[in-house]
Amino acid sequence: MLEQQLVNGLTLGVIYALIAVGYTMVYGVIELINFAHGEIYMLGAFFCATFITALGLPLWLAIPLAMLCCSLLGIMIDVVAYRPLRNAHRLAALITAIGMSIFLQNLAMVIWGSRPRAFPQDAVPAVLAEQAFSFGEVTITWLHLFIFGITFSMMIGLYLIIAKTRIGTAMRALAQNRTCCQLQGINVNRVISFTFALGSAMGAMAGILVAMFYNTLYPTMGYVAGVKAFAAAVLGGIGSVPGAMFGGIVLGIAEALGAGYVSSLYRDGVAYAVMIAVIIFRPSGILGKALVDKA
């Protein structure tokens, strides 16, 4: 049973991780908690399902298209809601973020209705639902492996972009000091837009994976997932990309074990207790660096 719980937790965890990177990257670059990120995750699932049902696109085309739409939406959210407040008090941007989140959630409800929908299963290759292998009590389906595979390859891709490319270097520089970047002639707004696009694409992917895995999508699905991913980002050390991945996986496993062995009513409690404990004993998160005053 423990092995199966670990598989359950890991599946949840990698998805949290995928959403959490979006939070952490935006925070790293402009020190804003983008609460609308959970809605990007939800919209990713809705876009993908709509492209399949309304336009008849195959899954392999609908996924990148949905990610692209969410990237553009992410950029738009930044331009509309956050850019005008770039030099305002940080609280102002936080409040617009919450407003944006509520707005997008209700917009989705107006467009698609409030009823939960099934993910178009006909578009999903049947083999994914089949069992890949089992040892003892544990069963792993191809869909599990698909989720792990996609998540890890996206994580590696993200690492390469941040570590090896010019724009990745600019992102890291921006995270250190915005004024200096501007003085060096870096187009700060372009780098921020790129960060939003990248984070939103990953969030959209997470939404699509969840919709495929649970066969359900609904307009309010982003809220809880967003809060959990935010917790994961804080757990790993907000601003740190490897921290977000690690935090997501730790949170997913803590939740699965908490629900399986303690009581399912405490599953969120266990997850948040882990987060609180980390914040108390290691305020910068598990993989976060100690805060340096940026004055």
Partner 1 sequence: MNKIVQILVAAAVALLLAGPAMAEEPIKIAVPSPFSGGAAAYGDNVKAGVEMKVAEVNEAGGIDGRQIEAVYLDEMCEPKEAATVATKVAQDEDIVGGVGHLCSSAHLAALPTYVRKGVPMISPTATNVTISEKNADRDGKVWSFRDVYRDDYQGKFLADYVSQVLGLKKIAIFYENNDYGIGLKDAFTAEAKTIGLEVVGAEGYVKGTTDFTPQLTALKSKNPDGLFISGYYNEGALIASQAKKLGMDVIKFGADGLDNVDYINLAKDAADGTYMTVPFLAAAAGPDAQAFIAKFKEENGRDVDWMSANAYDAAGMLLAAVKAVGPDRAKIQEYLAAMDTPEKGYKGVTGLTYFDEHGDAQKAAYVKMVKDGEFVPAPQQLN
Choosing from 10, 215, 284, 287, the residue that interacts with partner 1 (CB under 8 A) is 215
**214 near partner 1, judged by CB under 8 A:** yes
**100 near partner 1, judged by CB under 8 A:** no
Rounded least distance, CB 79 to partner 1, Å? 27
Rounded least distance, CB 213 to partner 1, Å? 9
Choosing from 261, 276, 277, 289, the residue that interacts with partner 1 (CB under 8 A) is 261
> Pattern of binders to partner 1 over 191-210, x per CB under 8 A?
-------------------x
- Rounded to 5, what percent of the chain is helix, strand, coil? 75, 5, 20
**273 near partner 1, judged by CB under 8 A:** no
Nearer to partner 1, 114 or 189 (CB): 114
- Per CB under 8 A, which region of 156-164, 235-243, 258-266, 278-286 contacts partner 1? 258-266
- Per CB under 8 A, which region of 165-173, 233-241, 260-268, 281-289 contacts partner 1? 260-268
Choosing from 65, 268, 284, 286, the residue that interacts with partner 1 (CB under 8 A) is 268
| Residue 116 neighbours by CB under 8 Å, 6+ apart | 216, 217, 218
**169 near partner 1, judged by CB under 8 A:** no
Choosing from 218, 230, 246, 272, the residue that interacts with partner 1 (CB under 8 A) is 218
In angstroms, the CA 39 to CA 194 distance is 18
**53 near partner 1, judged by CB under 8 A:** no
Choosing from 165, 216, 273, 276, the residue that interacts with partner 1 (CB under 8 A) is 216
For the chain, the DSSP string reads: -HHHHHHHHHHHHHHHHHHHHHHHHHHHHH----TTHHHHHHHHHHHHHHHHHHH---HHHHHHHHHHHHHHHHHHHIIIIIGGGTTS-HHHHHHHHHHHHHHHHHHHHHHH-SS-B---GGGS-GGGGSEEEEETTEEEEHHHHHHHHHHHHHHHHHHHHHHHSHHHHHHHHHHH-HHHHHHTT--HHHHHHHHHHHHHHHHHHHHHHHHHHHS-B-TTHHHHHHHHHHHHHHHH-TT-HHHHHHHHHHHHHHHHHIIIII-GGGHHHHHHHHHHHHHHH-TT-SSPPPP----
- Per CB under 8 A, which region of 31-39, 64-72, 164-172, 252-260 contacts partner 1? 252-260
**259 near partner 1, judged by CB under 8 A:** yes
Nearer to partner 1, 123 or 158 (CB): 123
**Which amino acid is residue 235, in one-letter code?**
L
Rounded least distance, CB 74 to partner 1, Å? 23
Rounded least distance, CB 127 to partner 1, Å? 15
Instruction: Tell me if residue 132 falls in helix, strand or coil.
Output: strand
Q: Give the total of residues touching partner 1 (CB under 8 A).
A: 40
In angstroms, the CA 41 to CA 44 distance is 5
Q: Looking at the chain, how many residues does it have?
A: 295
Judged by CB under 8 A, the chain residues 14 through 43 that form the site for partner 1 are none
Binding site for partner 1 (CB under 8 A): 1, 4-5, 8-9, 11-12, 106, 109, 113-118, 121, 139, 141, 210, 214-216, 218-221, 223-224, 255-261, 263-265, 267-268
